[in-house]
Structure 1
Amino acid sequence: MTPPPLGQHFLTDTSVVKAILESADLRSGDTVVEVGPGRGALTSDIVSQSGKVLLIEYDAEMAQRLAFKYETNTNVNVINLDARHFGSDSHTWLSDGNYKVVGNLPYYAANPIVRNFLESTHKPTSMVIMVQREVARDMAAEPGDMSLLSLAVQIYASAEKVIDVPPQCFDPPPKVHSSVLKLTPSSEPKLRFDSPDDFFKLARGGFKSPRKQLHNSLADGLFIHLDDARSLVSETGLETTRRPATLALEDWQVLYDVWVKSGRPSNIPGSIRRSQKRKLDD
């Protein structure tokens, strides 16, 4: 069977639907954003258990069907939009109060959709989402298995796995396993930084070469001298032999503070790693 447009895989297993709804803990007065309602496996229950429901559907045909189905329900609003570009602080239903997010997120867009909500000025109180299993593991990882995605999520929210979902729970079955994850956003970021762009410049540099020791990865990622990267890490009190995946959130805070104190070094011409290679090649 040929997958539908946009590579959609529609949830059909009622036990998974039940687990998602129980984790979302919906109440009659809740405002809920459902991302990717598709054929509506979750939608009817969300509408019946909640107050206002905002349905964000990227597929134009699916959005039209949903709009027709709920055209007489004034508590349901259907938006044909890519959720990566949704502004939660601009919609009138969300701007004046709390809201929850529930969704079976498209694999190709899950990361930016999650970050869009978590980094918005008006965050949800909870997110119960279905994503690819490996992505869920990354989002909920502990020090030792951390990645840039782990950091990007856990700065803004706690993450808890709800249930693993095998391919046969969908129509058509995807080639990968999925997991349901519950994210509970914090009122403020767990780390202090001047701006997300500022912090993630450092973080992306730190994870540039994740299998290398931290100072090597920072030298590669920030394009700074190797000795400077080693000094930067040493000043934090962390072992320079540590690898990026082993750092906890508080370690990143210390590293960021030292990096800022040092003038945010990056893009230094003639980085030692590259210049050393040239010398060896001469």
Structure 2
Amino acid sequence: MNTTVQKQPVPAPVSRAGDRISFGQGLRDSLVVARRNLLRMLRIPEVVVFGIVQPVMFVVLFAYVFGGSINIPGAGLDPSAYREFLMGGIFAQTVTFATAGSSAGIAEDMQKGIIDRFRSLPMARGAVLTGRTFADVVQTAVVLLVLAIVAFLVGWRVHDGVLNALAAFGLLLLFGYAFTWIGALIGLSVRSPEAATSGGLVWLFPLTFISIAFVPSENMPGWLQPIAEWNPFSATVLAVRDLFGNLPAGYHPPDVLPMQHPVLASLVSSLVIIALFRTLAVRKYKRAAG
């Protein structure tokens, strides 16, 4: 008696890394990871506190130590004008310094094996990094809120309405989100949280200080002015100053493209950084998880 055995089709396996997971599921995975990181921040409030202390110190030191000694085009040595000029730079510096936290957090998760646990789950690979960067942006928003209150106490004001102010903060958060992806790539590329913290900070100092954040480019040596004016950080600083209404009446931005169209330059640079470094970070994560 012949028995015919029919082979049942074997369904294609779904990889544990989530290669077949839909966009919607990937977004839900990202939000779950973001919630995990936000809960961790609430359980370790020192992370948020120290993240607030540093920019507050910068505000106080620059406002009262350097205020009145730096010439602002269109306002001279007026201390109150410098405080308003300063805050755009401090806000932008604060969102970029979140890079170090992203670097250290991802490096710590790699070191403790938490990333390996995520790899064993049927979730999108990019969700781990996306969730982390989402959480970092929420933390940055809290820091910006506290910083804005402190700035108000030292004399900073918004002069161009609430909508423009909200647009400025949105631009800052987008720029900060872009830099968290740089932090993610750094965190995946080093072997320890200590190295990630150093790697996430050391390059930020020349980026933020060779800019128009703290002094006008006109006050710099001639060879340094083009570097500061084409720095994407400078475009964001000038954009938020313009949206907050913090530019002196007699101030004329340098005659270069990013300084003439700072809002557009900031948006484009943020989106380019996100596209580039998210691609590199996810690719690095896939190799590390392979």
Q: TM-score, normalised by structure 2?
A: 0.22
Quick check: which one's helix share is greater? 2
Per chain length, whose mean CA-contact separation is higher, i.e. which structure has more relative contact order (CA < 8 Å, sep 6+)? Answer: 2
Q: TM-score, normalised by structure 1?
A: 0.22
Quick check: which one's strand share is greater? 1
